Amino acid sequence: MVQITLPDGSRRDYPAAVTVADVAMSIGAGLAKAALAGKVNGKLVDASCLIDADATLAIITAKDADGLELIRHSCAHLLAYAVKELFPQAQVTIGPVIENGFFYDFSFSRPFTPEDLALIEKRMTELAAKDEPIMRRVLPRDEAVAYFKGLGEHYKAEIIAGIPANEDVSLYREGNFEDLCRGPHVPSTGKLRHFKLMKVAGAYWRGDHRNEMLQRIYGTAWATKEDLQQHLKMLEEAEKRDHRKLGRELDLFHIDDHAPGLVFWHPKGWTLWQVVEQYMRQVYRDNGYKEVKGPQIIDKSLWEKTGHWDKYRENMFVTESEKREYALKPMNCPGHILIFKQGIKSYRDLPLRYGEFGQCHRNEPSGGLHGIMRVRGFTQDDGHIFCTEDQILQECVSYTTLLQKVYRDFGFNKIIYKIATRPDKRIGTDESWDKAEHALMESLRASGCEFDITPGEGAFYGPKIEYTLKDAIGRQWQCGTIQVDFFMTERLDAEYVGEDGARHRPVMLHRAIVGSLERFIGIMVEETAGALPTWLAPVQVMVLNITDAQAEYARTVAKTLQNQGFRVENDLRNEKITYKIREHSMQKLPYLIVIGDKEMASGAVAVRARGGQDLGVMSLENFSQKIAADIARKSNT
């Protein structure tokens, strides 16, 4: 007798060992048809898995997160199956699940083309329609190595050879294709219906640039046709919003091979940068931060004390001078501690808040670079708060409130909050961790925020809150953070004199609101599709004359607005006004002012807002008031 306990607490008895699929069928034909796998005593298993002892069981369907991952995992195998059918000489390597989809790496004698991708996807659809069962078998390791060598699959044999000799390995077969895999998988290829191949890219075998360059085919897979279509629509919209494309079209910045991973800011882009930086500088001033500036290059002895030289050396740019080794700073915190240590600090000085627009450099792999979102040189709105343990809560409450205001001003109203708690390997006392984690949670509760906890995901030196933005098309961007650190001030011997006259270690709170300014600007460009709100737009107003007769008046209008602090330019070219309006509309400027004889005669301006809105003729004073109001309220139009 085998007793199965279901998620609702109900129990079912079976006279003998039973498979997950059998249990699903005993509950109902609909569930049996939908079943993809099972969770037996918390472990994900195939639907064919035999349960021979009392157990808890959850039936996994496409509606479950585990079910969607199974679909994607099985689609990777279906992709490899189709490639082997069409290109028998191709060798298969690995094919994992990734966010929103899957990929598989192949070794092949020539590059796959877009036409090849279409053929492969068609073959995948045909194989899925055959509804072939996906079956598992187990082989001893050495037998599996010999099996794949016999098939000419040398990469797969190399992977298996790296498994301990005393371990068995599992293989999954569908039709004529068999692959190494731990599983589990969906029961048959017929469960795979809503997928699409996306692109081909290069990838080194085992991620090592010294090895062969393989071809990586990416795909996406979903539980329903609607989900797939929604995802493809989102990707289409994301492509339109791509900050790299908009950066060129709007003349904001460019990336050059002469400086990979570094940004060349054009005048308009640098204006945008300055607006963001000056806004954040005002945030510093209004919230009790003292702005500081540390050096770019610091002797390696400091990085040895902090532990970065041992643990982060490969990501640091290093140089040498007069037989001393230095590194370009990858972060600002050690420098802020050195500033804190200058002079004796008292408990009366705490909390002490330092802020810096600190330029950092990290030697990111070239394959991971992405426009201005992932770069090697970036500037952070970096802040460090030195405080006592008893001050952590209030500092975190104030910080979350401040962060929410800043994000609202930039047009982001949807924030996801996560708290990463203590890992198994950590420093500090349990009492200190209790205080820190409690402070982070209470700070979010005090701000009315719901949050998730990610157990064990904190750093070894302290827990943190991660603040993730959700943009206009549903993508998530992790930007802000506040992190409690019991460690760094001890490593660098920072102290303050307590009320008891004794020396104490301050707690260090690492915090950034926008994080990397480069990345945040890239996010804003994509969020707004380049139509930046008036207060951020590099050019807020473009003044256009219809004929040369109005040129001098147009200059006067522009100068008057510039003197009032607005970012205004003229276009006095001898071109048709319709051409000039169309050209500047493509630049997504907030306002165009059109001046003809009537406007000049009456001392007025004709105003067009972004999106082709005709606001009519108004006095220059009224227009000034309108744009000033837009800027003051941080309007997102």
Residues acting as catalytic residues:
333, 362, 380, 382, 384, 464, 510
Q: For tokens 């600002």, name the residue.
A: 332
Residue 172: its H or E element: strand 168-174
Give 319: exposed, middle or buried? Use CB within 10 Å, 0-12, 13-18, 19+: exposed
Strand partners, 265: 253
How is residue 315 annotated by DSSP? G
- Reduced to 3 states (helix: H, G, I; strand: E, B; else coil), residue 550 is helix
Question: Are 613 and 601 in contact, with CB atoms under 8 Å apart?
Answer: no
Name residues whose C-beta falls within 8 Å of residue 518's C-beta, 6 or more positions apart in sequence: 263, 372, 373, 375, 378, 379
Question: Are 101 and 89 in contact, with CB atoms under 8 Å apart?
Answer: no
Q: How far apart are CA 177 and CA 446, in angstroms?
A: 57
Question: Are 447 and 453 in contact, with CB atoms under 8 Å apart?
Answer: no
Question: Are 476 and 492 in contact, with CB atoms under 8 Å apart?
Answer: no
SS3 content of the chain, % helix, strand, coil (to 5): 40, 30, 30
Name residues whose C-beta falls within 8 Å of residue 284's C-beta, 6 or more positions apart in sequence: 291, 355, 383
How is residue 233 annotated by DSSP? H
Q: CA torsion 397→402→403→407, rounded to 10°?
A: 150
Three-state SS for 583-629 is HHHHCCCCEEEEECHHHHHHCEEEEEECCCEEEEEEEHHHHHHHHHH
Strand order across the 297-299 sheet: 297-299, 324-328, 318-321
Q: How far apart are CA 39 and CA 25, in angstroms?
A: 16
Question: Are 354 and 384 in contact, with CB atoms under 8 Å apart?
Answer: yes
Strand partners, 571: 544
